Structure 1
Amino acid sequence: MMKSTLMISTLFIIMLTACGGGEKSDQSLNEEQPPQQEPSGDQPEQLAMYESDQLTVFETTGWEITDEKLASNRLNVMLNGDKVKAILTVVPNEKSFDEVKQELKTGAGDVEIIQEEDNYLSFQSKRNESIKTEVYLREEHNNVYVFTFMVPVTEYEANKEKIEKLLNNISI
């Protein structure tokens, strides 16, 4: 099963490369990421640790998939990165980013908003053991992609790079 998935993934990548005519076929979540180089003989090919028709998560050191749920056009993929938890959600784009962010804030309860931008929301809980939550939003292919990261406030700085690495390894 794993070999057939790998073979299909490889064929899909080759097809995209051949049909892309030099265009970037995968859109990285982080727009500031440097352009990816063509693989050379000495660079290992990135392997997917999770793959669906909606998104691909490439192998990232320190992260593991803990659960996947698909129900009524909603995909949730849960990952664990030691002190950091991530939830990658894909839903149909029936709501605006503002509506999605408002639902997240309401559902989170008593929180302090740290930063809010068009495609980003950061807040922390007002509990003794405060949790910082970062939410990245993207809209592609008639879907809204919500990437949520939760980490204890005291562990955030030590895990910031780990979050960024995973974000850079998500392809829509």
Structure 2
Amino acid sequence: MGSMEIRRIEGVVVNDDGCAVDDLSFCGAVQVTVPAAVPWDDFVDLAVQEQWVGVEALSGVPGTVGEVVGRNAAAYGQRVGDVVASVRTWDLDTDRQRTFAAADCGFTPQGSRVSAGNLRILDGTFLMRQGDLTQPIYDETLAGLGGVGPGQRLPLIVVREAILRAGLS
């Protein structure tokens, strides 16, 4: 198997020390902070290449990281809010920065608290498991695209390529 060139995105900060004694993340996690202006699919591409699990089924979702996080985009059983650790915003009313922990983002199927008119998302921090396989797939469309049955797993790259090839995002 040939080596794959991993694209870097300016401003992305990666902390893969998920086993530090004072860290609240689970062992083996990777924490990735991505500027809001980065195209969402560029981030998904990077995540798949780096084997960060949790956004691969969101391949091809249009918009920037800030827009996709703000609307809590979902596809094929994955939801952005499931991997968000925090969102840093600029509050236009108070003219200051505010950071919301995932629990305070108010993610719903219709959006989030951080998409309010007075807030501008500056960046999102994601907490993802490292690995080369998806979580078990229960979305019938995605399982069909990957040629697997419900509850089976697929390589991240297979999921991304199948979704992009089908143009279903």
TM-score by length of 1: 0.27
Larger relative strand fraction: 1
Larger Rg: 1
